[in-house]
Chain A
Amino acid sequence: MISKNLTAASTKPIILGILRQGSSYGYLIIKKIKELSGGKMEWSDGMLYPVLHRLEKEELIRSEWVMAENSRPRKYYHITEAGKRELNYEHEQWSQVNSILNEVWGIKPSR
């Protein structure tokens, strides 16, 4: 299981990344994260919705109600242009962290 702190820190890029693939609604996002992480990262509703609403306030995503036949109305979220830019920025940041970590893993322990 991935730690709570790490999960919390990676919320924004993960949501934006999933929404770049296509629009989605709350429950589907939770399911997707579980799928992508092979069950190692589990999000609860209590975590997701406040973040979604915060991202919407920051205009990184926008939402709309979709009425479909044979199912209940669902609130779908779409990524905005600003969101895409933010995702690129996050990508860079995380890549840098990743490369630093790779370096760190490579350092041999001193005797």
Chain B
Amino acid sequence: MKPETSNTPRLVNWLVTRFIPDQYWDELLGDLEEIYQERIEIKGKHFARFMYWFDAFHLLYGFSSFKIFKTQNNTSMLKHNLKIVIRNLFREASYSIINISGLAIGIACCIILVLYLKSELTYDQHFDKHDRIYRVVSQLNSGENINLFAQTSYGVGQFIAEESGQIEAYVRFLMSNRGYSDFEYNGTSKRWDDIALVDPNVFEVFSHEIIYGDPKTALTEPKTIAISERFSKTYFGNENPVGKTIKGLLSDFKITLVFADLPDNTHLKYDALITYQELPTERYTPTNNADLRSSLWYTRSDYTYLLMPKDYDIDSFKSISDSFFEAYMADHPDRYNSTVDFMLEPLSDIHLKSRAQRDRPHGNRFYVAGFTGIAIFVLLVACINYMNLSTTRFSKRTKSIAIPKVLGAHRHQLIFQLLTESVVFVIIALVLGLGLAFLVTNYTSLDYLFDKSLPFDLLLSPTAIAIALVGVPLMSIVAGLYPAMAMSKFSLVRKIKSKNSGVRQGLVFVQFLVSICVISCTLLMYYQMKFMQEKSLGFEKENKLVLTVQGASNIEKIPVLVNELKSHSNVIDATVSLNHFGRSTSFEQAEVENNDGEFVSHSYNWFYIDENFINTMGMELIAGRNFDPTIPTDANHAILVNETLVKKMGWERPLGKRLRYQAGEEPSYVVGVMKDFHFQGLQHEVESMIFWLPAPDDFSASFWTERRRKLTTRMLTVNITGQNVSETIRFIEDKWKALGSEHAFEFQSLDDSLNSQYTADIKQMKLIGLFAGLCIFISCLGLFGLTAFIIEQRTKEIGVRKTLGATSAQIITLIFKSVFLIVGIAAILASLLSFGIMNKWLEGFYYHDSIDVKAFFIAAFFAFLIAFLTMSTQSFKVARANPVKALRHE
């Protein structure tokens, strides 16, 4: 019977089964596991895992037939080899430094990229049940329009769970940053961006590391809040805050639990979780009524997660979705022939694979693939570099290699000696590389570019140690075997000493191929970013300040504020909208009249604006008129549409076309058509858009409960001249304060908030640029080695040529010719390669610049320049040297 070894490190078990005869597995793994369990109880899991690795390696050694260290002869030979290695290391100090530093930089880059990739590829896997948790996404199919949304109605979780017996639990997350963002305790007040309202069973489904409190009961009572360690420290220092009450904007909350801060690699980010009971009962425990059915179609507010049985087949969810749709949604009067499919996204796939809209920022698979490629290439370039430099060093040592051979040393002994050197160099480089990676990840702002901190302790995991233990010999062999084999073979020594250094030229070729490719990709990414920032969006994004006005009492004061603001010479205009333009729009479907006068289903984005919006934003009206508040029917019934909607509907005469939510209802009608503008990032195609003019706010109506009055917000966009900006902002702030608002003055520049859509791409571009620079640097080290080698081999030839009257320029051309040919061919191939890669990358942007061939020329020129500079220091010295010295060479 195979022993149960499920908790023990799997990699170790695999190694044991791989290298130890199968008749011993059961016994060894069984005993190892027993020791492991005992150690867990005494000294904890980490120690037990570490010792498991340790014991397993002892076992492997005990059973191995690898006798190299077991005989007296081999030990002394090893000592002798090490002595020679250390002697050579110091004798050829400059070469050793170049050799080791190139490899160390390569290893450091590789380590940093591995840390990044590990973080990207293990998103949300810190939740114990991550393989059973799925997010429900809803796909709205209305005519030709198909839209996938990350959020669903608050009712989906409960009713879909009732529809299917297989769902073990559901949890809703309502990410709220209004009303639940400000907390105050004992004079300390802070605004938090990530606060969620969640179902009380959240801790059963999503495992957290609990510091204080009982997860089973934490959120079962109303007005309770579970907070993160960071949140807790802000208000309470190191005290246990459980049982204390913290003041929120709407009410006080009792702290019931403190959980450890979430890791960076989670798509669900929150600093505090408030019980869902905070919301009205009809949301917390909805009943199957008209409101709920309507919300299933129109409300997309919550992230809904389901806990499914182990190994659940996600395709089988289709039937649950269909029966749910039939039971709760199909009979809705405002359906407009649309259908909705609910689908599951595995939790750990959301970050890289989700295509849902209106979601928090996602990762990008393209970058993951790109960085994997770069990690491999950087290491490859570093190894190639090492091979080139080593061969150069060894070729200067032919005598010390030849003499032992003549005295009867076997070829394998020579290989062993040279490989020892390789192992020593790789180990030194590994230690330096680790140190460098540690310094870079901890003391530079690289975290900012990666958008996450890279926990260095990941490298202390047994898997990483195992990779290092396998990696060092592997790299030593990859980097050291060619020079060792070449030098240990006499005929090859002659070959190496000949002018034909084909293999090494090939290696330099690969280095330049990779480097030029990375440089041109970086340049093309830069062009695209520039294109996006400079492309006309169809409105003026410059010099716009967006102020968040919260609370009904403040909103009522907006007209007064705007009048006062306009008194300043630098304030041109202002407009009020419901949402932050360029950041979020609402999405819905309705019946729209076609050319034949029939109503057909159409889905579109919509946005509430006022009559000043078009002018303030610098948009262009190409047909019809703007909203006019003096016409009473304009409010909620007049609509402005964009060109895309006109095209999609095929309207010949768009003005007067109607839109309605249901038959018999008074329809809205098109009064104007706007030139298309980009209300989403340039990654996305322009979609249908409708602007509405809302009816004037009447906060005295019964709809406006105290809670709603407090939470409601409007965006006031102020158009300024761009002169004396800071003085203008101070003026606006003063006027804001004079209104007596209880909320702090909060504003954002529209330009900044629109550009933030490209932040991730810009950061990735900078990172790739950084690694491109390193690739080139390492390649230069290799080229330096190659030049030295060429000069070493041709010293006598150069001497003869000079004696016969060759000029320094001719000598330099002689040395440069072969290398420039290599760089030239590499440049052509690299251009083709990066053309293909960037074409694929640009597909991710709906609006993109065409590939500018200038990038390839710049990259190639840069490579030539670098090659020239690297080689020139040595070449000029040789070209100018006294030929007599050269002729005396050897």
Contact = CB atoms under 8 A, between A and B. Distances in A.
Contacts of B4: 72
Contact of A46 (B1, B26, B61): B61
Interface in B16-67: 24, 26-28, 30-35, 55, 57-63
A49 B26 contact: no
B62 A45 contact: yes
Contacts of B624: none
Contacts of B59: 45-46, 49
A27 B3 CA distance: 15
Contact of A45 (B1, B3, B26, B28): B28
Interface residues of B toward A: which range?
Answer: 20 to 34
Nearest to A29: B31
Interface string B527-557: 0000000000000000000000000000000
Interface in A63-94: 65, 72-75
B30 A74 contact: yes
Interface string A40-67: 0000111101100100000000000100
The 7 closest A-B pairs by CB, nearest first: A46-B58, A46-B62, A27-B31, A44-B58, A75-B27, A26-B31, A46-B59
24 contacts: A26-B31, A27-B34, A27-B35, A44-B55, A44-B58, A44-B62, A45-B32, A45-B55, A45-B62, A46-B55, A46-B57, A46-B59, A46-B60, A46-B61, A46-B62, A46-B63, A47-B62, A49-B24, A49-B63, A72-B30, A73-B1, A73-B3, A73-B26, A75-B30
Given A25-B31, A27-B35, A44-B55, A72 B62 contact: no
A33 B58 CA distance: 18
Contacts of B55: 44-46
The binding surface of chain B is classed by DSSP as: helix
Nearest to A47: B62
B228 to A, nearest CB: 41
B310 to A, nearest CB: 24
A72 B58 CA distance: 23
B93 to A, nearest CB: 38
Given A72-B3, A72-B4, A73-B3, A49 B28 contact: yes
Nearest to A51: B62
A44 B35 CA distance: 12
Given A27-B35, A46-B58, A73 B30 contact: yes
Contact of A49 (B1, B27, B33, B34): B27
Interface centre among A25, A47, A49, A53 (most CB of B within 10 A): A49
Contacts of A49: 24, 27-28, 59, 62-63
B260 to A, nearest CB: 34
Nearest to B33: A72
Interface of A: 25-27, 44-47, 49-50, 53, 65, 72-75
Nearest to B56: A45
Contacts of B24: 49, 53
Contacts of A74: 30-31
B27 to A, nearest CB: 4
A65 B3 CA distance: 12
B34 A75 contact: no
B27 A72 contact: no
Nearest to B62: A46
Given A45-B32, A75-B26, 13 more contacts: A26-B27, A26-B28, A27-B34, A27-B35, A44-B62, A45-B28, A45-B62, A46-B58, A46-B59, A46-B60, A49-B59, A72-B4, A74-B31
Contacts of A25: 27, 31
Contacts of B32: 45
Nearest to B58: A46
Nearest to B60: A46
Nearest to A63: B27
Contacts of A73: 1, 3, 26, 30
- Candidate in B24, B27, B32, B62 with the most chain A CB atoms within 10 angstroms: B27
A73 B34 CA distance: 11
Contacts of A75: 26-27, 30
Interface centre among B4, B33, B34 (most CB of A within 10 A): B34
A45 B31 contact: yes
Nearest to B1: A73
Nearest to B28: A49
B52 to A, nearest CB: 10
A44 B59 CA distance: 8
Nearest to A71: B34
Nearest to B32: A45
Contacts of A53: 24
Contacts of B58: 44-47
A52 to B, nearest CB: 9
B313 to A, nearest CB: 33
A47 B24 CA distance: 14
Contacts of B3: 72-73
A74 B59 CA distance: 18
A73 B26 CA distance: 9
Nearest to A27: B31
B456 to A, nearest CB: 30
A77 to B, nearest CB: 10
Nearest to B30: A72
Contacts of A26: 27-28, 31
B57, B58, B60: most-surrounded residue (chain A CB, <10 A): B58
Contacts of A44: 55, 58, 62
A35 to B, nearest CB: 14
Nearest to A25: B31
B734 to A, nearest CB: 76
A27 B38 CA distance: 11
Contacts of B26: 65, 73, 75
A45 B24 CA distance: 12
Nearest to B34: A27
A53 B25 CA distance: 13
Contacts of B28: 26, 45, 49
Q: Which of B24, B31, B57 has the most CB of A within 10 A?
A: B31
A53 B57 CA distance: 18
A45 B27 CA distance: 11
A68 B559 CA distance: 85
A47 B28 CA distance: 12
A100 B556 CA distance: 107
Contacts of B62: 44-47, 49-50
A8 to B, nearest CB: 11
A72 B34 contact: yes
B30 A50 contact: no
A26 B35 CA distance: 11
A79 to B, nearest CB: 18
Contacts of A65: 26
B525 to A, nearest CB: 52
Contacts of A47: 58, 62
A88 B57 CA distance: 34
A74 to B, nearest CB: 7
A106 B33 CA distance: 48
Contacts of B1: 73
A88 to B, nearest CB: 28
